[in-house]
Amino acid sequence: MDKARDILKKAKEYRRETAELLSEMVKIPSFSGKEEAVCKKIVEMCESRGFDEVRIDGLGSVVARIGSGLKILAFDAHIDTVEVGDPDQWDLDPFSGLIKDGLVHGRGTSDQEGGAASMITAGKILKDLGIPEEFTIYFTFTVMEEDCDGMCWKYLIEEEGLRPDYFVSTEPTSCRLYRGHRGRMEMLCTFKGVSSHGSAPERGESAAYKAARAALAMERLNEELEPDDDGFLGKGTIVVSRIEVSGPSQCAVPDVGMLYLDRRLTWGETSESAINQVKEYMGDDVESVTMPRYSKTGYRGTEYGQDLYFPTWKIPEDHPLVQAGVKANTSLYGKPPVVDKWTFSTNAVAVCGAHNISTIGFGPGDEDQAHSPNEVTRVDDLEICSAFYAMLPYVLKETLEK
């Protein structure tokens, strides 16, 4: 296909520029809720490359547009990052943005400003070559994902009315094509005891022992969770991520206890079924099992929130969007991509999980680089992904016409 040849040529021509785009982003710390500086830089990057419209939404995400067709295709990268952690574990400055030996170094290179850099280059390629007139293409650079994945897209869909027909997450996939991942939720479990002096524990009722028994029950529940029917997403998991107990003094039986749970949900599991499982396994020891709510004020001063429930999603391998992704990769590189799934969670929990919008994933970098010291991504991946994103609208148009 001539278009594939032209796109590959452009992606290679812009290869160094794409790496430099990523380097510039990495040099600007952009922790969740503090993304203003990098968002302003991304606005400049998109405007200078001729995007048709570039704006910042009410929550703080950058929304860039090319085209004005009836079908909406959206590419998404979250541009907030986690904190650095222990700086002694980093060989380089986490914000160096160093480009060396085919790698870009620094916090956010894989998770996931690499996807953002490739998206900007893809937009430039599409402006150079033109896009199918049937499409409007949005490139979204979203905020606060690390704190609450999907909330940025909940805002875009429910508050700003941006509802794409097709969605591509550019979270790291090692340039594989992903079509789903497990959902997740968080739970808060409380325990009540009766305090007594530590010299006579038999007079009291320990919330610590109740919490301990409940924690061991969660270990058993994790072992007994079942995989989804087709085995694609695998089994759900549950882990006690925090445990706390307290009492009137250090010399007293604790009368209050708490467990915090991270629950990963496979296909068919819901927040209701997961809470009921926890109650069943903990039995009379647990006082309450609830799902917390997240709320935060972004850098634009907008407060927004949601329950800490992130629905599972997947789409079939024969879905037109998946098949378009396979054909796009094959047209460019002469072979189909590996089709798989993420282990972690992405903004697709809102887009596909909650709003049932057809979604795939294809991104530069590796999942195991996320939240790790000495984070890197490959310049090769940036080039591959910028070509893939530019190619997809053409192939999706052909796929939908058949």
HSE (CB half, 13 Å, CA atoms) of 300?
13
Q: Cα 173 to chain center, whole Å?
A: 11
* Yes or no: domain 185-297 corresponds to CATH 3.30.70.360: yes
**Residues of the chain where predicted confidence (pLDDT) is lower than 50:** none
AA letter at 208: A
pLDDT of residue 1: 59
Q: What count of Cα atoms within 13 Å lies in the side-chain half-sphere of residue 240?
A: 20
User: pTM for this structure?
Assistant: 0.95
**Residues acting as catalytic residues:** 80, 145
For residue 28 the two structure tokens come to 């600007």
Beta bridge partners of 100: 103
φ, ψ of residue 277 to 5 degrees: the values are -60, -45
CATH class of 2-181+312-401: alpha beta
Burial 85-101 (b: 16+ CB within 10 A, else e): eeeeebeeebbbbbbee
Most distant CA pair in the chain: distance in Å? 83
Residue 282 CA to residue 378 CA, distance in Å, equals: 46
DSSP 197: B
3-state SS of 142-184? ECCCCCCCCHHHHHHHHCCCCCCCEEEECCCCCCCEECEECEE
At 289-328, the pLDDT tens digits run 999 999 999 999 999 999 999 999 999 999 999 999 999 9
What pLDDT, on a 0 to 100 scale, did the predictor assign at position 142? 98
Residue 296 CB: number of other CB atoms within 10 A?
16
How confident is the model at residue 217, as a pLDDT? Answer: 98
Identify whether the C-beta of residue 75 lies closer than 8 Å to the C-beta of residue 59: no
Cβ atoms within 10 Å of 293's Cβ, excluding its own: 11
- Strands of the sheet containing 376-378, edge to edge, are 99-100, 103-105, 376-378
> Alpha carbon of 366 to those of 45, 61, 370, 376: distances in Å?
25, 24, 7, 9
Delimit the domains of the chain by residue range. 2-181+312-401, 185-297
170, 330 Cβ separation under 8 angstroms: no
Distance CA 376, CA 360 (A): 23
Residue position matching structure tokens 């009921």: 276
